Structure 1
Amino acid sequence: MRVQQEQQTERRPGATAARPGRSGSRLAELQHTAGNAAVARLLTPSASRTDRAVSVQRITTHPGGTYDAEPQPGERGPHFVAQGPEPRVALGGGGEPRDIRERLRYELAEVGPANAPLRVADDGTLAVHGVDEPKEFYAVQAVVDTANTALRAANSTVELVTGGRSIGVGGLRLLRVQPSVVRDTTPTSQLGPFVSLLRSTCISVACSLIGSEHAKRAQAVLGGGDGGFLLTPNSDSDARANRLADAVAQDTTSSLGLDGAVTAANGGQALGDDLGRRYGEATRDGGRDATEQRLGINKYASPAPGEGFAIFSMLAKDGLDHSVAPAVERGENVWGYHFAAVVARSLDGSCQVTLENYARNEFDAKARSELYEVLYQRAKSGGGWFSQLKPLLESDDQQAFKKKFDEVLAALVTDPEVKRKRGMPRLQLQQDFEDHTCRSWFFRVYGGGPGESFHEQQAASGYFNNPMTLRVARPPSSPDTAGQ
């Protein structure tokens, strides 16, 4: 098993688009429908109820065309925008590098209400487009106002804004909601069809949205907020999270409390042998449910707007996910962690909306190679502005082409900022795409019913081994007091 480096470990956890080798699996199908979750949602008959609360459905699906999308006076623009799962070579328009048309883009397409299913909170106060990476959600104004109050209190870099469209769902009028950067902006951060969050890696985005002053520092919050410790993940894990998982695995008597959990996380003790296997087997099938509920971890992690989720893989020696039986081989694409910031929740508190992104490096490398191949083949054929690429020989391969690339682009562009420095045109192509990925964020909704929690949906995606989910928040200003 191979855990990717930081930008790849964060790549795409929880995504519901088809993946090689997984599209037919039960876990992938569950992830695709998680939150809709009708499959396992049978209410316990009243005659057989125990003292344990009965689980109820928190998210329902409204198919496209089944809700009111009649435009209101003054409304305009798209109802929904779908974001493609992989970058494509596309013709650019505007922005840097000027005068160069070929770009890499995650393609966007407008989707009409007739073709847009909704995932709707139980109380009807918010709804999210039922696709992999939705670029908006809909909510009543009270949801937006409450969320913005919490985001401002956390010193978040974003606030929520409404406008353009509205829809009617269950008797309520929901407004189209998108993020707006409110601080640490650059002259270009608000340009383009969607705002730039200034970062693309999951942890950097989440930390900025929860108000952390550091791109890789967050505070784990246990219980109702009475316990916590600092998280500073390396490329694929966090030592304190691992120690907490070790303590949970050892809690056979269900006696681990908040103080003990914080002490264990902050302690310097060595981990027991084969943490991933022990933790996975211990938590499987509700084996540590009481402990998880007491600590507010895994499916019981419930951050408010201005806080977030963090999920970590606990690695086993055999590379298997032991949190399911029989243990499963997840392949090479196992992520060390993923962070997601909560930016809103339904008025009844049952559903949370996250604003997420992920580092797309492995997609980027493939797409960039395809871009150069397109440029190379056009240059060889002598078409368009590529006819100026001289002297390009028949024997020149792509590497030889790339060596000549900067000189040709420098001769073609007219923007002095691009021409100023040798090598700048090609670097600008790369920077242009990196800027674009900062606009490739998406919303996602998580609920309170079976299979709907962040932990359950991410675990069902198959991209984590023996996962543990924590609620996270802005850390104290002084790291010295972070564990207090």
Structure 2
Amino acid sequence: MRVQQEQQAERRRTAPPGRPARGSASALAALHATAGNAAVAQLFAPAASHTREPAPVQRITDHPGGSYDAQPQAGERGPYFVSQGPEARWAMGAGDGREPRDIRERLRYELAEVGPADAPLRVADDGTLAVHGVDEPKEFYATQAVVDSANASLRAVNSTVELTTGGRSIGVGGLRLLRVQPTVLSEQSTEGQLGQFASLLRSTCISVACSLIGSEHSKRARAVLGDGTDFLLTPGSDSDDRANRLADAVAGDTAGTLDTAGALAAAGGSQAPGADLGKRYGEATRDGGRDATEERLGINKYASPGPGEGFAIFSMLAADDRDHSVSPPVERGENVWGYHFAAVVARSLDGSCQVTLENYSRNEFGEKARSDLYDVLLKRAKSGGGWFSQLKPLLESDDQQAFKAKFDEVLAALVRDPEVKKNRGLPRLQLQRDFEDHTCRSWFFRVYGGGAGESFHEQQAASGYFNNPMTLRVARPDPAGP
């Protein structure tokens, strides 16, 4: 969830690029700065001295497009990869009977089919799973053993999804990996599965994650510490009191003695965190300042959920709105997220890499309908002549009420059904519901590893969306609990 949900993201997390050609100095420099590529940076750095530390172990490797076996197998069909655009734009609908039937122009996140030659992969260390190296991939590839193990874990927690294979396969490192996508178990008919991708029925990050880990509540999960003990999380719009109190205890652990019992007591206590929690916590955890405590508690880069569990990352806000977990402190701007949840749906057979299924709140209908969709519909309406030519363009000075009135006029000019015409505002609401359904299909996969810079915590912290972040492993709460 975002601290200010009305603010829409102007940037998106960037997936690590494919490995560049050896001769490109600028590309190599960019790769060196990418989270999860410390080993590559070591490879191209000057010769090591006797006092140099060994290169960190990497658990995810980048395979450029065209470097793996994509020879079609008998009976295979469909796309190898589909990437999802980061911004909603207007597009012509498929004429699938969705309301309003006379309006085919819709808001959509653009989907693009990508061939293997142009699709870099992020591959687990043991080669048993691979994810398309773009920002929001719509599939991953894995061995059948990975899928079977994942589904067993998902069933054990009563997850709302299972993983299915089919369509395509690729060969990576001697293993044949199958194309994997989610299926929603509650959908017994095709009505809820309209469109190319299954609807997860929700789009906000925490609601999606909670349903995938089997929680019976859309905003309730257990935070699980390193020894398996836990406490309940019930986040509000941008934070969770128990998570804040735990961060306060970590910040104050100057002696390095905080154990899970102390962490549970702090999280479940009633004492409010001290002044300027974000600054104190960020400075305390910066540059590994609480590494031993984090490892003991199983938080931050040491949070390691399995399939049927998930990650939750929280921002700890500072009085100066800066991220003090880096030096010098950074101003992240207004687009800081209060928290983000992601469910783990698969894991490599050696346990070193996790695949998450994620989404986030995409509250863009009003903004995009105003900036993209209105002019397209206005032009089509005015082409009909008659009184339609009197329809007015939007003005920058038009407030939301004026926009809705003009939008309803344009839609009334395009809708033929007399019953719908009489219900002014209904076509606009139908378009909004259509977009909300589309956002429930706008999920994506991500891969995280156990190597330097590869963890969920490190990748999310490097995204620029969080201030002074703390990451927890989360799981399904006890159905009989509070």
TM-score by length of 1: 0.88
Answer whether contact 2:311 2:342 (CA < 8 A) is retained. yes
Q: Is the 8 A contact 1:151 1:305 kept in 2?
A: yes
2:143 equivalent among 117, 140, 143:
140
- Following superposition, the deviation at residue 188 of structure 1 comes to 2.9
Q: What's 1:335 paired with?
A: 337
Name the counterpart of 2:263: 261
Give the distance between the partners of 2:68 and 2:162, measured in 1 at CA: 27
Q: Deviations over 1:300-330 (max 9, x none)?
A: 0000000000000000001110001111111
Aligned-pair CA distance for 1:89: 0.8
Structure 1 distance, partners of 2:156, 2:456, is 23
TM-aligned CA deviation for residue 39 of structure 1 = 4.4
Deviation at 1:372, TM superposition (A): 1.3
Q: Is the 8 A contact 1:31 1:457 kept in 2?
A: no
Q: Distance in 2 between matches of 1:377 and 1:17?
A: 38
Distance change >3 Å, CA 135–CA 205, structure 1 → 2: same
- The partner residue of 2:316 within 298, 314, 333 is 314
Amino acid at match of 1:279: Y
Indicate yes or no: 2:194 matched with 1:152. Answer: no
Name the residue aligned to 2:71.
70
**SS of equivalent residue, structure 1 residue 167:** strand
Superposed counterparts of 1:39-438, under 5 Å = 39-40=40-41, 55-93=56-94, 94-97=96-99, 98-183=101-186, 188-225=191-228, 227-361=229-363, 363-369=364-370, 370-379=372-381, 382-383=382-383, 386-387=384-385, 390-393=387-390, 397=394, 399=403, 401-410=406-415, 412-413=416-417, 422-438=424-440
CA positional deviation for 1:8 = 5.9
The structure whose RCO (Cα within 8 Å, separation 6+) is larger is: 1
Matching residue's letter, 1:265? A
Distance 1:297 1:397, change over 3 A: closer
Unmatched tracts of structure 2, length 5 or more: 17-26, 396-402
Q: Report the 3-state secondary structure (helix = DSSP H, G, I; strand = E; otherwise coil) of the residue aligned with 2:390.
A: coil
| Equivalent residues of 1:151, 1:306 under 8 A apart | yes
Query: How far has the Cα of 1:401 moved from its partner?
Result: 2.9
1:34 maps to which residue? Answer: 35
Secondary structure at 2:193 match in 1: coil
Say which is worse superposed, 85-94 or 293-302, in terms of deviation: 85-94
What secondary structure is seen at the aligned counterpart in 1 of 2:191? coil
Q: Is the 8 A contact 2:165 2:179 kept in 1?
A: yes
**1:324/1:395 CA distance change after superposition, 3 Å:** closer
The 3-state SS of whatever aligns with 1:230 is strand
Say if 1:134 and 1:442, in contact at 8 Å, map to a contact too: yes
Report the AA paired with residue 14 of structure 2. T
1:423 CA displacement: 3.0
Report deviation, 1:476: 1.0
The separation in 1 between residues aligned to 2:189 and 2:219, in whole angstroms, is: 21
SS of aligned partner of 1:166:
strand
Shift of 1:392: 4.6
Q: What is the CA-CA distance between 1:407 and the residue it aligns to?
A: 3.2
Question: Does the 8 Å contact 1:406/1:424 carry over to 2?
Answer: no
Cα 1:13–1:124 change in 2 (3 A) is farther
Aligned residues: CA RMSD = 3.0
Contact in 2 for aligned 1:6/1:236 (Cα 8 Å): no
Corresponding residue number in structure 1 for 2:20: none
CA–CA separation in structure 2 for the residues paired with 1:266 and 1:8 = 32
Report if the CA contact (8 A) 2:121-2:131 is conserved. Answer: yes
Distance 1:41 1:144 in 2: 34
**Structure 1: 5+ residue runs without aligned partners?**
19-25
User: In structure 2, how many angstroms separate the alpha carbons of the residues matched to 1:403 and 1:91?
Assistant: 19
Change (3 A) 1:435 1:427: same
Rounded Cα–Cα distance in structure 1 between residues aligned with 2:214 and 2:11: 23
Q: Which residue of 2 aligns with 1:21?
A: none
Residue 16 of structure 1: aligned partner: 14
Offset at residue 184 of structure 1 (A): 6.2
Query: How far apart are 1:404 and its partner, in Å?
Result: 1.7
3-state SS in 2 of match to 1:205: helix
Contact residue 167 and residue 175 of structure 1 kept, 8 A: yes
SS at structure 2 position matched to 1:68: coil
Please state whether the residue corresponding to 2:106 is helix, strand or coil. strand
Do the aligned residues in 2 keep the contact of 1:17 with 1:32 (CA within 8 Å)? no
Are the equivalent residues in 1 in contact too, given 2:69–2:170 (CA < 8 A)? yes
CA contact (8 A) 2:221 2:475 kept: yes
Aligned-partner SS, 1:470? strand
1:113–1:472 distance in 2 versus 1, CA, 3 Å = same
In 2, the alpha carbon distance for the partners of 1:101 and 1:205 equals: 28
More divergent stretch after superposition (470-479 vs 446-455): 470-479
Does the C-alpha gap of structure 1 residues 255 and 13 become closer, same or farther in structure 2, counting only changes over 3 Å? farther
* Separation in structure 2 between the aligned mates of residue 77 and residue 243 of structure 1, nearest angstrom: 49
* Structure 2 Cα separation of the partners of residues 134 and 207 of structure 1: 21
How many residue pairs are counted as aligned between the two chains?
458
**Equivalent AA in structure 2 for residue 364 of structure 1:** F
SS in 1 for 2:14: coil
